[in-house]
Amino acid sequence: MRISNRGLNLIKEFEGLELEAYQDIVGIWTIGYGHTSMAGPPDVVPGMEISESEASEILRRDLKQYEQGVEKAVKVSVSQNMFDALVSITYNIGVNGMKNSTFIKRVNSKDFEGAAEAMKWWNKAGGRVVAGLKRRREAEAALFLEGWTEDKDATQDEPRGARVEENSPRRGNLASSRTMGGATAAAGAGAATIGSTMVGDEDGKEQQAEAPTPTGTAPQVPGKTPGEHNPGGEDDTQSTPEGLPGTVAEVAERTQDVFATAWSREETQDAVVMAAGVIAVIAALYVVVARVDDWRNHKR
Condensed to tens digits (0 to 9), the pLDDT of residues 272-281 reads 777 887 888 8
Instruction: Tell me phi and psi for residue 17, to 5 degrees.
Output: -105, 125
Selecting among 15, 57, 138, 140, the annotated active-site residue is 15
Best CA proximity match to 192, nearest among 102, 259, 96, 284: 284
Interval 99-125: pLDDT, tens: 999 999 999 999 999 999 999 999 888
Interval 137-150: pLDDT, tens: 999 999 999 987 64
User: CB–CB of 266/204 below 8 Å?
Assistant: yes
Structure confidence at residue 195 as a pLDDT band (50, 70, 90) = low
Question: How confident is the model at residue 278, as a pLDDT?
Answer: 83
The number of beta carbons lying within 10 Å of the beta carbon of residue 148 is 16
- Residue 249 clears pLDDT 90, i.e. is over it: no
Instruction: Confirm whether 267 is a catalytic residue.
Output: no
CA gap 24, 33 in Å, rounded: 12
Give this prediction's pTM.
0.49
Structure confidence at residue 228 as a pLDDT band (50, 70, 90) = very low
Q: Over pLDDT 70: what percentage of the chain?
A: 57
Structure confidence at residue 283 as a pLDDT band (50, 70, 90) = confident
- pLDDT, the chain, mean: 75
Question: How confident is the model at residue 49, as a pLDDT?
Answer: 96
- Residue 258 clears pLDDT 60, i.e. is over it: no
DSSP character at residue 133: H
Burial of 174 (0-12, 13-18, 19+ CB in 10 A): middle
Question: How confident is the model at residue 53, as a pLDDT?
Answer: 94
Residue 169: cis peptide before it, omega within 30 degrees of 0? no
Helix segments in the chain, DSSP class H: 5-15, 52-73, 80-93, 95-99, 102-108, 112-119, 131-145, 148-151, 178-210, 248-298
Question: How confident is the model at residue 231, as a pLDDT?
Answer: 44
Q: Which residue has the higher pLDDT, 47 or 155?
A: 47
